[in-house]
Structure 1
Amino acid sequence: MSNLKIRNGKNELSLKKSKSLVGLRTQTDKAAADAPFVQEELLQNLGGFNIVKLSKEEGKDIDQQLDEVRERQEVEVGTHVYYAEGSDKPLVATGELYITFAAGTEPAEQQIALEEFKLELVERRTPTRLIARVTAGSPNPLKVAHLLQQSSLVKVAEPDLDTLLDEYEYQDPADELVPQQWHLRNAGYIPGANYRLRQGADAKIFDAWRRLNGMGSDRINIAIIDNGFDLSHPDLRTKVFRPFDLWTQSSNMSQGDARFTHGTPCASVALAISNGRGIVGAAPNARFMPVNGTSFSNRATEQMFDYCVKNGADIISCSWGTTDPKFSLGPIKEAAIARAAREGRGGKGAIILFAAGNDDLDYLNFYAAHPDVIAVGATTSKDTHASYSNRGRELDICAPSNGDWPILAARASWDPGITWESGVYKYYRDGRDRGPHYKHFGGTSSSTPLVAGICALMLSANPDLTAREVKEILRSTADKIGSPSEYTNGRSLKYGYGRVNADRAVAEALRRKDRAAAPTVPAATVGAPSSGPAQPSAAAPAGGISSNGQGLFRFSVKAQLAQGWGVQVGVFGDYSNVLVQAEKLERMFRQPVIVRIMELNGRTVYKVAIGAFARFDEAKQLNERVKAELGISAFPADLSKV
Structure 2
Amino acid sequence: MSAINIKREGGTLELQKSRRLVGLKTKYGSTASNEAGQVMPDLGGFSVVELEGEVESGLDRLRGEDSVAVGSHVYFAAGDNRPIIPTGVIYCQLAKGVERQESDRLFERLGLEVAERRADGTVVLQVTERSRNPLHMAGVLENLHMVVEAIPDVDVPLDQYFSQPRDGLFPEQWTLQNRGSIPGVPGYETKAGADSGVQAAWRQLDGLGGADITIAVIDNGFEVEHPDLAGKIVSPLVVSSGSQGLPEGSAYGTHGTPCASLAVAPADGNGIVGAAPNARLMPLHGLTYSAFLTERMFDHCRTKGADVISCSWGTVDDRYRPGKLHERAIRRALTEGRGGKGCVVLFAAGNEGLARVNYYGQIDGVITVGASTSNDTHPGYSNRGTGLSVVAPSDGGWPVLAARCSWDPGQSDMPPEKRFYVDGRDRGPYHKHFGGTSAATPLVAGICALMLSANPDLTASAVKSILEQTADKIGNRAGYDARGWSNQFGYGRVNAERAVDEAVRRRSVPVVPADTPASPAGAYQLNVEPARKSGYGLQVGAYGDYKNVVATVAALKQSFGLPVVVEESGGLHKIVVGTFATADQARAHIEEVRAAGYRPFVRDLSTLS
The TM-score bracket by the shorter chain reads 0.5 to 0.7
Give unmatched runs, 5+ long, in structure 2: 1-167, 515-552, 556-609
Please tell me the residue identity of whatever aligns with 2:344.
Answer: I
2:194 is the alignment partner of 1:187: no
2:352 is the alignment partner of 1:321: no
Partners of 1:212 and 1:336 in 2: CA distance: 33
2:330 is the alignment partner of 1:337: yes
Greater shift, 475-484 or 258-267, is seen at: 258-267
Per-residue deviation at 1:543? 6.7
Partners of 2:354 and 2:415 in 1: CA distance: 31
Q: Kindly indicate whether structure 1 or structure 2 has the higher relative contact order, using CA contacts under 8 Å at least 6 residues apart.
A: 2
SS in 1 for 2:466: helix
SS in 2 for 1:408: strand
Assess if the C-alpha contact under 8 Å between 2:510 and 2:554 holds in 1: no
Q: Which of the residues 465, 468, 477 maps onto 2:470?
A: 477
What per-residue deviation string (whole Å, max 9, x for no partner) do you get for residues 32-83 of structure 1? Answer: xxxxxxxxxxxxxxxxxxxxxxxxxxxxxxxxxxxxxxxxxxxxxxxxxxxx
Matched ranges for 1:113-192 at <5 A? 176-192=168-184
Change (3 A) 1:439 1:472: same
Structure-2 residue corresponding to 1:299? 292
Partners of 1:220 and 1:415 in 2: CA distance: 29
Assess if the C-alpha contact under 8 Å between 2:240 and 2:293 holds in 1: no
Change (3 A) 1:520 1:290: farther
Partners of 1:190 and 1:519 in 2: CA distance: 51
Per-residue deviation at 1:473? 0.2
Please tell me the residue identity of whatever aligns with 2:329.
Answer: A
Partners of 1:424 and 1:358 in 2: CA distance: 26
Partners of 2:197 and 2:213 in 1: CA distance: 20
Partners of 1:520 and 1:214 in 2: CA distance: 34
Structure-1 residue corresponding to 2:507? 513
Count matched residues: 349
Per-residue deviation at 1:423? 1.6
Please tell me the residue identity of whatever aligns with 1:268.
Answer: S
Structure-2 residue corresponding to 1:498? 492
Partners of 1:416 and 1:220 in 2: CA distance: 33
Assess if the C-alpha contact under 8 Å between 1:270 and 1:282 holds in 2: yes
Assess if the C-alpha contact under 8 Å between 2:384 and 2:487 holds in 1: yes
Matched ranges for 1:406-485 at <5 A? 406-485=399-478
What per-residue deviation string (whole Å, max 9, x for no partner) do you get for residues 118-139 of structure 1? Answer: xxxxxxxxxxxxxxxxxxxxxx
SS in 2 for 1:440: strand
Assess if the C-alpha contact under 8 Å between 1:337 and 1:372 holds in 2: no
Assess if the C-alpha contact under 8 Å between 1:393 and 1:492 holds in 2: no
Structure-1 residue corresponding to 2:144? none
Structure-1 residue corresponding to 2:343? 350
SS in 1 for 2:445: helix
Q: Which of the residues 222, 225, 228 maps onto 1:235?
A: 228
Per-residue deviation at 1:235? 1.0
What per-residue deviation string (whole Å, max 9, x for no partner) do you get for residues 368-396 of structure 1? Answer: 11112000000000001111000012100
SS in 1 for 2:284: strand
Identity %: 56
SS in 2 for 1:306: helix
Assess if the C-alpha contact under 8 Å between 1:258 and 1:416 holds in 2: no
Partners of 2:418 and 2:512 in 1: CA distance: 56
Assess if the C-alpha contact under 8 Å between 2:394 and 2:436 holds in 1: yes
Partners of 1:358 and 1:419 in 2: CA distance: 21
Give unmatched runs, 5+ long, in structure 1: 1-175, 522-541, 545-642
Please tell me the residue identity of whatever aligns with 1:350.
Answer: C
Assess if the C-alpha contact under 8 Å between 1:341 and 1:372 holds in 2: yes
Per-residue deviation at 1:518? 5.2
Please tell me the residue identity of whatever aligns with 1:314.
Answer: D
SS in 2 for 1:223: strand
Structure-1 residue corresponding to 2:109? none
SS in 2 for 1:491: coil
Largest Rg, 1 or 2: 1
Matched ranges for 1:367-382 at <5 A? 367-382=360-375
Assess if the C-alpha contact under 8 Å between 1:258 and 1:415 holds in 2: no
Please tell me the residue identity of whatever aligns with 1:191.
Answer: P
Partners of 1:482 and 1:187 in 2: CA distance: 19
Assess if the C-alpha contact under 8 Å between 1:258 and 1:414 holds in 2: no
Per-residue deviation at 1:326? 1.1
Change (3 A) 1:462 1:228: same
Assess if the C-alpha contact under 8 Å between 1:283 and 1:456 holds in 2: yes
Per-residue deviation at 1:520? 8.4
2:387 is the alignment partner of 1:397: no
Assess if the C-alpha contact under 8 Å between 1:385 and 1:494 holds in 2: yes
Partners of 2:408 and 2:179 in 1: CA distance: 30
Per-residue deviation at 1:248? 3.9
Per-residue deviation at 1:511? 0.2
What per-residue deviation string (whole Å, max 9, x for no partner) do you get for residues 127-155 of structure 1? Answer: xxxxxxxxxxxxxxxxxxxxxxxxxxxxx
Structure-2 residue corresponding to 1:247? 240
Partners of 2:554 and 2:494 in 1: CA distance: 26
SS in 2 for 1:337: helix
Runs of 4+ in 1 over 3 A off after TM superposition: 517-521
Partners of 1:421 and 1:222 in 2: CA distance: 33
Partners of 1:436 and 1:227 in 2: CA distance: 20
Assess if the C-alpha contact under 8 Å between 2:170 and 2:273 holds in 1: yes
SS in 2 for 1:367: helix
Partners of 1:304 and 1:543 in 2: CA distance: 38
Partners of 2:354 and 2:378 in 1: CA distance: 13
Partners of 2:513 and 2:490 in 1: CA distance: 34
Assess if the C-alpha contact under 8 Å between 1:190 and 1:196 holds in 2: yes
Structure-2 residue corresponding to 1:284? 277
What per-residue deviation string (whole Å, max 9, x for no partner) do you get for residues 260-282 of structure 1? Answer: 00000000001101110110000
SS in 2 for 1:513: coil
Partners of 1:445 and 1:519 in 2: CA distance: 45
Partners of 2:274 and 2:183 in 1: CA distance: 19
Change (3 A) 1:339 1:188: same
Partners of 1:334 and 1:235 in 2: CA distance: 32
SS in 1 for 2:359: coil
Change (3 A) 1:519 1:184: farther
Please tell me the residue identity of whatever aligns with 2:486.
Answer: S
Q: Which of the residues 303, 325, 331 maps onto 1:310?
A: 303
Assess if the C-alpha contact under 8 Å between 1:462 and 1:510 holds in 2: yes
Per-residue deviation at 1:224? 0.1
Please tell me the residue identity of whatever aligns with 2:291.
Answer: N
Assess if the C-alpha contact under 8 Å between 2:349 and 2:437 holds in 1: yes
2:243 is the alignment partner of 1:223: no
TM-score in terms of structure 2 length: 0.56
Assess if the C-alpha contact under 8 Å between 1:309 and 1:345 holds in 2: yes
Partners of 2:418 and 2:298 in 1: CA distance: 37
Per-residue deviation at 1:330? 0.9
What per-residue deviation string (whole Å, max 9, x for no partner) do you get for residues 566-589 of structure 1? Answer: xxxxxxxxxxxxxxxxxxxxxxxx
Assess if the C-alpha contact under 8 Å between 1:248 and 1:254 holds in 2: no
